[in-house]
Amino acid sequence: MSALHKYLKKHTEALVKDVGVEAACTLTGRSKATIGRYYSDAVEHQDRYMPVDAVVALEAAASYPHLTSAMAELNGNTLSYAEKRNDTQGGVNNDVVALAERFARLMGEYHQSIQDGVITANEAKRMLSETLALQSVLVDMKLHLEDETTPARSV
């Protein structure tokens, strides 16, 4: 089995275990055996993958979009996963303040990480977390700017 197949199988298993096998069966309408085949690394199941409708159903119930993220990573893309995307109140001025605060936090993490000349895995994870938070603020800012440049529609 190729590294690609193993990677997808591993993330399929993580998705199923995140939701729970019983819940996965209920959500997808498939049996435990079928669900198990989707992440089995046995030779006879190496070409069996979870159908997209099942992935969508499970990821809606999961704490994280395991397979969607895995496929994005395989193609060199990244996803931004935010639990509260609806909280975009405040406008561009608040976004600029939030952007400055997040950038300051990122620079603080960077400064702390390079003090000994080596960035450890944990330090890199903290910097990545701050970078993703910074990206989220930029997305909110982009949405607010687009709202301000879109002409109001009359009803």
Beta strand segments in 33-89, E: none
Three-class SS state of 28: helix
**For residue range 25-39, what is the model confidence (pLDDT) as tens digits?**
999 999 999 999 999
Whether the CB-CB separation of 108 and 98 falls below 8 Å is answered with no
**For residue range 81-139, what is the model confidence (pLDDT) as tens digits?**
555 444 456 788 888 898 899 899 889 888 888 988 888 888 888 888 888 888 888 88
